[in-house]
């Protein structure tokens, strides 16, 4: 692309021209939209049937019988997702039909697996009586209700994704505040397992503001980079054969990025800082179309990582934590019972699963530490094996590719950048946590999107999906039906 | 912006490809390593998912002394030992963390069901989906003899704080009783929570070392029981029970000022007595002099012929003699000088079983057993039968093996004659059993042969019926003080009566 300031309307050309029809009413969808929504409905029912099957298999293995209770979680999930489906029909009739069923399947399997963990913790005699909203699984089910309600609200009230850009500065500021807050708050409120990224209300309710800050900052990046992309791409100074943008154009973005990184170092959360960095570099690259940004980003990142590791050995201090993580990654069996315990047990779980797994409910995932959060993928891996995990990876890849497809198809630059950034952020998060628990990269604390127990992560990721739905609806709405609604 | 978006798509594909490749590595390639890794708690859970087999005594129809029962915990089956402390050293225990001991360790594969012998059962499990229990082990132990041995050790009349009993079937080498005192309750050690480790730590540090199997692993000075071996050496050197020996109140070996005396001044003050008489009254001076006359070489050869210096002996399953419960080596100590000649002062004192002569209770029982069985010393063993999970399919039965020839049959007959005299006329009268011919030898001693206080009490012996051996036994009461050997003889008699009772009086 030599002329980056004009986005080619390739997507618009790809949409078949249809004769002008009246604006579709609530009840009478455009035939094209009806086809799309029908696909979504069937895929959704298929996904829910799979979740029900999973729950039944869990009961068969853990109770030696299938009680009729296994329907309840699947039934509640189905009801919730059908409600979302109805809202999509009304408010985003052309939205991508694959997104919701895929995410619903991940979400449902997550609820099912957490319920399976609850069953494993319960005494054998108490297992058949495990209430539907009891334990982590029940909590996750409730959070699913809240998260999907949030997604429905976003679709209902935000009729056009470009409305988001009106609040970009507010969102950027709010994002910074949310990121800052746990670092400023006393550790008794914000610290869990050594990472200061929580805000706790009382004893059982806590949110991770970083999960929401991620979305807000991304919206701000997208808005700002769209505004400045021409300047960033054209008005530059050449240095060492690479074009560098002028400082004053890049200033605000650098400030946001540096601040969030600094704060995250103080919050001792490497995973999130890596996520922000990747998110930032990639949106910058998409906006400017300059490979040099990717190169600079990668060099900065790997250089920084190596430097931090060297400093950990030489200086210690704030780098000690990072150094330890790398050491554990290099050889988890050097200290298998203390520092390496989490990772070795994760590998034991994955390895025990082997190719086909022990079957849902037939393994011992509770031997893996933090199996409901960071290590849920390893816990599931024991029971569904390499084949099952590969299927989960495929589901994630499907969500990401649908997000990228929406980015490609949508006509406006803000939408492209936002959708592309959201999709890539999701992919990066999956890579960081799954790579971490399977010893591909050093382990950094992250939730596994849609699977891990935790309300903040679930709500934030469903909002992400809602945004992708909104953008994909804009991308797929035929121009003749009014194009992008204004 | 579409070109960079497409490239981002490629990057995502690469990232997911890396995840996929790595999962293949971890789950498929390394999967088996991780599945069986010692760091993998599932190995234990699997092990405890199958009901471990019984350990039983040889008495038909008696209750198991080790069994597993279902619990509702994460580890499904809990091991328990109804046999309690009396059987703890033989059966051992199988803790959740750490290594098993005793028969639990020796026959672990069979009890846990992973043995090749149980392949058919495992194969059937694949089709039925059930988990067949492990195999069952029947020991050679005779219940009455074992119970008597431990009960009498624990309640000995001299309040001795430790001791051991070994009873053998001289015909086969089967261990009919093997008790070590003090013992321990193995049940707390196999619990599924952290209390098990605490219980083990407590036992480990306990005075008297209850975890030690004294019958196999502790060595003691044999004291006067060693005179049986010196007698055997004498017979091999063309002496006979009637050969006159020089006795007397004191003996000073050439090259030392140390005078060896008798236990009491009335033991053998006369100048001369026969070998048989000397053994009957346990005459120290006669045997010290006899040992010096026989020389180091002959004493060593005889001791080896009866099982001394055998550091490879394992007691367990006769089909795998390299596995089993380890037996400490019994030794004579130094009998020669640095130039190679006889060290007469040392030989003199070693000939009455003191100085640096050391035997395990098992070794001393094997001496008695060999003599009872015409000097055919059988390999001692503990595992009589291996039975399938159904309790009927026999998968192994012990085939007794001769370990070595210890002397000639005629010499054995002469030794028996002399030992019977000990029980009928001499120091071992308390071991007598109505209707049986009992032979034996007592022993009392410490490193200082004249100080009877704080000394060990020994008895080794055998019971015969119709010219056939019924049982051989060794009993030691450590630190029993005065009367230790008499109490040991009494216990030995009771243990042999236990064997006779379990054999139906035959």
Q: Which of A307, A353, A305, A351 is closest to A329 using CA atoms?
A: A305
Q: What is the CA radius of gyration of chain A?
A: 23
Rounded CA-CA distance A200/A413 in Å is: 38
Please give the structure tokens belonging to residue A451.
Answer: 């699977």
**Taking a C-beta distance cutoff of 8 angstroms, is the pair B481, B454 a contact?**
yes
Query: What percent of chain B stands above pLDDT 90?
Result: 65
Question: Rounded to whole angstroms, what are the CA distances from A214 to A132, A270, A392, A408, B294?
Answer: 32, 14, 23, 22, 96
Rounded CA-CA distance B280/A120 in Å is: 71
DSSP string, B316-352: S-TT-TTSSEE-PPPB----B-TTSSB-HHHHHHHTT
- Residue tagged active-site, from B58, B68, B183, B224: B224
Per-residue confidence (pLDDT) for residue A5, from 0 to 100: 46
**Taking a C-beta distance cutoff of 8 angstroms, is the pair B464, B416 a contact?**
yes
Rounded CA-CA distance A419/A412 in Å is: 11
Q: How many CB pairs lie under 8 A apart between chains A and B?
A: 141
Rounded CA-CA distance B157/B155 in Å is: 6
- Partners of B24 on chain A (C-beta within 8 Å) are 386
Structural element, H or E, at residue B456: strand B456-465
pLDDT at B59 over 80: yes
Rounded CA-CA distance B385/B59 in Å is: 12
- Partners of A348 on chain B (C-beta within 8 Å) are 34-35, 37, 39-42
Rounded CA-CA distance B459/B474 in Å is: 6
Q: From the centroid of its chain, how far is CA B488? A: 17
Interface test with B, best of A281, A351, A425 (most B CBs within 10 A): A351
B61 touching A (Cβ < 8 Å): no
List phi, psi (to 5°) of B43: -60, -45
B468 touching A (Cβ < 8 Å): no
Domain that holds residue B474: 220-381+402-502
Buried b / exposed e along A155-187 (16+ C-beta atoms within 10 A): beeebbbbebbeebeebbebbbebbbbbbeeee
Please give the structure tokens belonging to residue A6.
Answer: 């004009």
pLDDT single digits (tens) B396-424: 999 999 999 999 999 999 999 999 999 99
Rounded CA-CA distance A367/A352 in Å is: 12
Contact B23 A431 (CB under 8 A): no
pLDDT single digits (tens) B387-397: 988 888 888 99
Please tell me what DSSP assigns to residue B308: T
CATH of the domain at B428: 3.40.710.10
A407 Cα to chain B: minimum distance (Å): 8
Lowest mean pLDDT among B39-53, B119-133, B214-228: B119-133
- Partners of B4 on chain A (C-beta within 8 Å) are 1, 285-286, 289
- Partners of B75 on chain A (C-beta within 8 Å) are none
Residues 6+ apart with CB under 8 A from B239: B275
pLDDT at B457 over 50: yes
Residues 6+ apart with CB under 8 A from B489: B423, B427, B428, B429, B430, B431, B440, B442, B459, B461, B475
Residues 6+ apart with CB under 8 A from B159: none
Residues 6+ apart with CB under 8 A from B505: none
Q: Where are the domains of chain A?
A: 10-481
Q: Give yes or no: B224 in active site.
A: yes
Contact B19 A431 (CB under 8 A): yes
**Taking a C-beta distance cutoff of 8 angstroms, is the pair A447, A433 a contact?**
yes
B31 touching A (Cβ < 8 Å): yes
**Taking a C-beta distance cutoff of 8 angstroms, is the pair A270, A308 a contact?**
no
Which residue positions in chain A have pLDDT lower than 70? 1-28, 192-197, 202-204, 233-257, 259-269, 318, 480-486
* Closest partner CB to A404 (pick from B9, B24, B37): B9
pLDDT single digits (tens) B268-314: 888 899 999 999 999 999 999 999 999 999 999 999 999 999 999 99
Q: Nearest-CA residue of chain B relative to A435?
A: B19
Residues 6+ apart with CB under 8 A from B71: B77, B78, B192
Rounded CA-CA distance A55/A115 in Å is: 9
* Closest partner CB to B45 (pick from A345, A351, A364): A364
Rounded CA-CA distance A117/A114 in Å is: 5
Please give the structure tokens belonging to residue B453.
Answer: 């206080």
Between B361 and A255, the more confident residue is B361
Q: Which of B146, B131, B174 is closest to B87 using CA atoms?
A: B146
Interface test with B, best of A218, A285, A348 (most B CBs within 10 A): A348
Q: From the centroid of its chain, how far is CA B448? A: 27
pLDDT single digits (tens) B117-154: 888 877 777 677 667 788 999 999 999 999 999 999 99
Buried b / exposed e along B41-55 (16+ C-beta atoms within 10 A): bbebebbbebbbbbb
A138 Cα to chain B: minimum distance (Å): 23
Is B103 domain-assigned? no
Per-residue confidence (pLDDT) for residue A257, from 0 to 100: 64
Q: Nearest-CA residue of chain A relative to B4?
A: A286
Question: Rounded to whole angstroms, what are the CA distances from B25 to A439, B31, B76?
Answer: 10, 8, 32
Rounded CA-CA distance B502/B506 in Å is: 9
Is B291 domain-assigned? yes
Q: Which of A421, A425, A179, A419 is closest to A284 using CA atoms?
A: A421
Contact B35 A7 (CB under 8 A): no
Contact B19 A381 (CB under 8 A): no
Buried b / exposed e along A250-266 (16+ C-beta atoms within 10 A): beebeebbeebbebbbe
Rounded CA-CA distance A205/A217 in Å is: 24
Lowest mean pLDDT among A107-111, B248-252, B263-267: B263-267
- Partners of A400 on chain B (C-beta within 8 Å) are 12
**Taking a C-beta distance cutoff of 8 angstroms, is the pair B31, A353 a contact?**
yes
Please tell me what DSSP assigns to residue B67: E
- Partners of B41 on chain A (C-beta within 8 Å) are 348, 364, 367
Per-residue confidence (pLDDT) for residue A266, from 0 to 100: 67
Strands (E) located in A60-204: 191-192, 195-196, 199-201
**Taking a C-beta distance cutoff of 8 angstroms, is the pair B331, B357 a contact?**
yes
Regarding beta strands B136-139 and B55-56, do their DSSP bridges make them parallel or antiparallel, or are they unpaired? parallel
Is B41 domain-assigned? no
Residue B273: CB atoms within 10 A of its CB come to 20
Bond preceding residue A358 cis, omega within 30 of 0: no
Please give the structure tokens belonging to residue B32.
Answer: 């088996």
Q: What is the CA radius of gyration of chain B?
A: 28
Rounded CA-CA distance B375/B416 in Å is: 10
Structural element, H or E, at residue B445: strand B437-445
B5 Cα to chain A: minimum distance (Å): 6
- Partners of B9 on chain A (C-beta within 8 Å) are 401, 404
Is B52 domain-assigned? no
ipTM of the complex: 0.90
Q: Which residues pair with B442 in a beta bridge?
A: B459
Per-residue confidence (pLDDT) for residue B92, from 0 to 100: 94
Question: Rounded to whole angstroms, what are the CA distances from B159 to A460, B143, B481?
Answer: 76, 24, 9
pLDDT at B453 over 50: no
Q: Nearest-CA residue of chain B relative to A390?
A: B20
Please give the structure tokens belonging to residue A22.
Answer: 């009246």
B210 Cα to chain A: minimum distance (Å): 31
Contact B22 A333 (CB under 8 A): no
Per-residue confidence (pLDDT) for residue A256, from 0 to 100: 61
Per-residue confidence (pLDDT) for residue B129, from 0 to 100: 65
What is the count of structural domains for chain B? 1
Q: Nearest-CA residue of chain A relative to B41?
A: A367
Is B423 domain-assigned? yes
pLDDT at B440 over 90: yes
Question: Rounded to whole angstroms, what are the CA distances from B380 to B368, B464, B469?
Answer: 13, 19, 15
Q: Which of A158, A208, A175, A233 is closest to A5 using CA atoms?
A: A233
Please give the structure tokens belonging to residue A229.
Answer: 């992309």
Structural element, H or E, at residue B108: helix B108-112
Is B149 domain-assigned? no
**Taking a C-beta distance cutoff of 8 angstroms, is the pair B164, B153 a contact?**
yes
Residue with tokens 């000939």: B351
Please give the structure tokens belonging to residue B443.
Answer: 């022993």
pLDDT at B56 over 60: yes
* Closest partner CB to B12 (pick from A287, A400, A413): A400
> Alpha helix locations (H) across B315-473?
344-350, 361-372, 409-425
Please give the structure tokens belonging to residue A411.
Answer: 């006509």
- Partners of B71 on chain A (C-beta within 8 Å) are none
Per-residue confidence (pLDDT) for residue A194, from 0 to 100: 63
pLDDT at B334 over 50: yes
Give pairs for A205-209: CB < 8 Å, separation 24+. A207/A455, A207/A456, A208/A447, A208/A454, A208/A456, A208/A457, A209/A178, A209/A179, A209/A181, A209/A182, A209/A456
Q: Nearest-CA residue of chain A relative to B43?
A: A352
Contact A404 B8 (CB under 8 A): yes
Rounded CA-CA distance B354/B333 in Å is: 10
Rounded CA-CA distance B360/B313 in Å is: 12
Q: Which of B304, B295, B309, B377 is closest to B342 using CA atoms?
A: B295
Q: What is the mean pLDDT of residues B466-483?
A: 90
Rounded CA-CA distance A101/A78 in Å is: 10
């Amino acid at each position: 692309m030599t002329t980056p300031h004009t986005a080619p309307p390739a997507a618009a050309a790809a949409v078949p021209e249809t004769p002008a029809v009246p604006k579709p009413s609530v009840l009478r969808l455009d035939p094209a939209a009806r086809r799309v929504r029908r696909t979504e409905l069937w895929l959704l029912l298929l996904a829910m049937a799979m979740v029900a099957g999973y729950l039944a298999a869990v009961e068969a293995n853990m109770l030696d019988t299938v009680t009729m209770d296994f329907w309840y979680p699947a039934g509640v999930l189905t009801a919730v997702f059908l409600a979302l489906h109805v809202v999509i029909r009304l408010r985003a009739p052309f939205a991508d039909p694959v997104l919701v069923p895929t995410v619903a399947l991940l979400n449902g399997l997550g609820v099912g697996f957490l319920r399976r963990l609850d069953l494993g913790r319960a005494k054998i005699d108490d297992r058949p009586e495990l209430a539907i909203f009891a334990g982590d699984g029940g909590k996750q089910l409730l959070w699913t209700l809240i998260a999907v309600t949030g997604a429905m609200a976003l679709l209902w009230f935000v009729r056009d994704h470009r409305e988001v850009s009106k609040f970009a500065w507010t969102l950027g500021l709010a994002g910074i505040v949310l990121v800052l807050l746990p670092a400023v708050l006393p550790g008794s409120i914000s610290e869990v397992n050594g990472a200061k990224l929580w805000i706790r209300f009382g004893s059982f309710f806590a949110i991770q503001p970083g999960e929401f800050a991620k979305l807000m900052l991304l919206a701000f990046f997208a808005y700002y980079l769209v505004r400045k992309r021409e300047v960033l791409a054209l008005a530059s100074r050449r240095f060492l054969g690479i074009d560098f943008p002028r400082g004053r154009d890049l200033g605000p973005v650098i400030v946001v990025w540096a601040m969030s990184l600094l704060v995250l170092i103080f919050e001792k959360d490497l995973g999130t800082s890596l996520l922000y960095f990747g998110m930032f570099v990639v949106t910058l690259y998409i906006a400017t179309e300059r490979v040099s940004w990717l190169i600079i980003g990668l060099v900065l990142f790997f250089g920084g990582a190596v430097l931090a590791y060297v400093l950990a050995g030489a200086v210690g201090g704030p780098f000690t934590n990072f150094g330890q993580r790398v050491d554990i990654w290099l050889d988890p069996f050097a200290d298998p019972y203390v520092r390496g315990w989490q990772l070795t047990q994760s590998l034991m779980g994955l390895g025990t699963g082997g190719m086909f797994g022990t079957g849902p409910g037939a393994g011992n995932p509770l031997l893996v530490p933090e199996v409901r959060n960071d290590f849920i993928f390893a816990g599931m891996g024991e029971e569904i094996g390499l084949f099952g995990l590969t299927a989960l990876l495929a589901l994630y890849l499907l969500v990401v590719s649908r997000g990228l497809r929406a980015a490609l198809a949508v006509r406006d630059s803000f939408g492209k950048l936002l959708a592309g950034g959201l999709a890539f952020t999701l992919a990066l998060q999956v890579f960081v946590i799954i790579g971490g628990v399977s010893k591909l990269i050093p382990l950094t604390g992250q939730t596994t999107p849609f699977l891990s127990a935790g309300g903040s992560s679930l709500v934030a990721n469903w909002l992400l999906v809602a945004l992708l739905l909104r953008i994909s609806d804009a991308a797929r709405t035929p121009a003749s039906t009014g194009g992008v609604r204004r | 912006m579409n070109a960079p978006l497409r490239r981002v798509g490629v990057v995502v594909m690469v990232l997911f490809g890396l995840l996929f490749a790595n999962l293949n590595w971890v789950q498929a390639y390394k999967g088996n390593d991780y599945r069986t890794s010692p760091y993998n708690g599932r190995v234990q859970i699997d092990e405890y998912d199958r009901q471990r087999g019984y350990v039983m005594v040889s008495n038909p129809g008696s209750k198991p002394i080790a069994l597993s029962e279902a619990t509702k915990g994460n580890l499904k089956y809990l091991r328990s030992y109804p046999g309690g402390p009396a059987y703890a050293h033989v059966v051992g225990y199988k803790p959740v963390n750490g290594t098993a001991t005793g028969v639990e360790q020796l026959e672990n594969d069979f009890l846990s069901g992973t043995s090749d012998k149980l392949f058919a059962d495992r194969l059937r499990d694949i089709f039925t989906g059930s988990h067949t229990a492990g195999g069952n082990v029947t020991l050679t132990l005779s219940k009455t003899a074992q119970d008597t041995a431990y009960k009498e050790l624990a309640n000995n009349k001299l309040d001795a704080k430790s001791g051991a009993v070994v009873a053998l079937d001289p015909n086969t080498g089967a261990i009919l009783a093997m008790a070590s005192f003090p013992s321990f309750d193995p049940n707390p050690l196999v619990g599924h929570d952290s209390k098990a480790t605490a219980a083990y730590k407590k036992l480990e540090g306990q005075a008297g070392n209850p975890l030690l199997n004294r019958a196999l692993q502790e060595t003691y000075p044999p004291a006067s029981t060693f005179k049986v071996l010196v007698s055997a050496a004498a017979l091999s050197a063309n002496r006979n029970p009637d050969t006159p020996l020089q006795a007397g109140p004191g003996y000073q070996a050439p090259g030392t000022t140390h005078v060896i005396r008798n236990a009491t001044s009335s033991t053998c003050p006369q100048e001369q007595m026969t070998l048989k008489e000397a053994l009957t009254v346990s005459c120290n001076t006669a045997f010290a002099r006899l040992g010096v006359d026989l020389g180091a070489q002959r004493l060593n050869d005889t001791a080896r012929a009866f099982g001394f210096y055998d550091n490879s002996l394992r007691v367990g399953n006769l089909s795998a003699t390299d596995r089993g419960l380890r037996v400490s080596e019994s030794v004579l100590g130094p009998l020669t000088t640095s130039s190679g000649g006889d060290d007469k002062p040392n030989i003199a004192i070693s000939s009455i079983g003191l100085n640096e002569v050391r035997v395990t209770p098992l070794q001393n029982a094997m001496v008695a057993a060999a003599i009872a069985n015409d000097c055919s010393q059988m390999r001692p063993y503990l595992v009589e039968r291996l039975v399938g999970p159904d309790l009927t399919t026999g998968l192994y039965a012990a085939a007794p093996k001769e370990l070595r020839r210890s002397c000639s049959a005629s010499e054995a007959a002469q030794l028996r004659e002399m030992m019977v005299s000990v029980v009928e006329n001499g120091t071992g009268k308390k071991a007598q059993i109505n209707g049986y011919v009992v032979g034996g030898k007592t022993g009392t001693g410490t490193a200082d042969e004249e100080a009877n206080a704080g000394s060990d009490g020994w008895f080794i012996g055998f019971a015969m019926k119709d010219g056939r051996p019924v049982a051989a036994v060794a009993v030691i009461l450590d630190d029993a003080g005065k009367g230790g050997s008499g109490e040991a003889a009494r216990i030995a008699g009771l243990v042999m009566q236990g064997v006779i009772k379990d054999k139906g009086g035959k």
